[in-house]
Amino acid sequence: MMADLRRFAINQITTRDWTLEQAVNGYARQGVAGIGVWTEYLDACGIRQGARLIRDAGLFVPSLCTSAWVNIADRAGFDAGLAENRRRLDAAAEIGATALVVVPGSLATGEKDLPAARSRVLGALEHLLPYAREVGVVLGIEPLHPMYAADRSCLNTFAQCLDICRRLGKGTGIVADTYHCWWDPEFVPGLRQAGPENILTFHLGDWLVPTRDVYHDRGMVGDGVVDFGAYRAVLDDMGYDGPFEIELFSKFDWWLRDGDETVAVAVDRCAPLVGGRQKAPC
C-alpha cells in the first residue's frame, strides 16, 4: 500500500548539502509533497527560479526559514532588520510559502536583560505584521528550546508564543516543533488552546539521549525519546488537517549521508504519522 504523503514536507536543512534544485527534485522523486525552504538556498538559486522549480515539481511550501534577527538594540540595526524581513516576506510570497518562520534572536551584545530583549522582539513583530498581512504571508511564531534563549531566540515556551499570537492577532500563527517543545508541560494544552486553524505546520524531530551538540544533533523520528504517536493522536482529536514537516540538524549523522538515503529513511519513519486525519469512531 502506498504511503499517504500529501501532508508531508521535508525542511531542506535536513539535506543540508543539496541545492534548492536538488532538494526539490530529490523530494518529489520519492513522493514527498512539500518542501520547507531556507532563505540561503533560495537566494543562491534566485527567488524567481526557485519559485518556478517548486511550482513545476508540484510541491507545496509550508514555510520559509527563517526571519532575520530583530534583536538589534540600536535604531539603525533595528530598521535594517525590518527591511530584510520585508524582503524575506516578499520571497515567501513569491514561492507560495504559507509562513515565514520567526527566529528573532535574543540578547544583544553585552546585554543580560532578557525581558528587554523579549519586549524588543514583540515591538519588531508589531512593526512587521502589517506588511506580512499585505503580502499574504503569516508570521510563524516558533517556540525554541530554552537552550537557545541567550542567542537564537528569546521565544521559548509554547504558552509564551501563543500569547504573542493572541496579542498580535490576524497574520500570526504557531509553528509547533516536537524537538523544541516535547519537554514543555504546556505543549499539549497549548496545542488545544491554539486550535487547528492557528497551527501553521508541525515539525518532526527527535530528542536524542545523549544530545552531543545543542544546535546540530536532532534525531531522526524514532531514534530518540519523543512520543510522536501521542502527539499525532492529540492533533487528530483536535481536528488538525495541516502539514507535517521533518526538520533535522544533524552534523554527526544525517548530514553525512547521501541525501537520497536521508529522504528515504525520513519517508519510511514519518509515513505512519503524516497521513490523513484519523477520525474517531461514531
Q: List, for residues 171-194, the tens digit of each pLDDT value.
A: 999 999 999 999 999 999 999 999
**pLDDT at 1 (0 to 100):** 58
* Mean pLDDT, the chain, integer: 96
Task: Place 279 in a pLDDT band, splitting at 50, 70 and 90.
Answer: low
**pLDDT at 222 (0 to 100):** 98
Average pLDDT over every residue of 256-274: 98
Which domains does the chain possess?
8-274 (3.20.20.150)
Task: Place 277 in a pLDDT band, splitting at 50, 70 and 90.
Answer: confident
Q: Judge contact between 120 and 111, C-beta under 8 A.
A: no
Kindly report, residue by residue over 15-28, the tens digit of the pLDDT.
999 999 999 999 99
Task: Place 280 in a pLDDT band, splitting at 50, 70 and 90.
Answer: low
Report whether pLDDT(282) > 70. Answer: no
Report whether pLDDT(281) > 70. Answer: no
**pLDDT at 74 (0 to 100):** 81
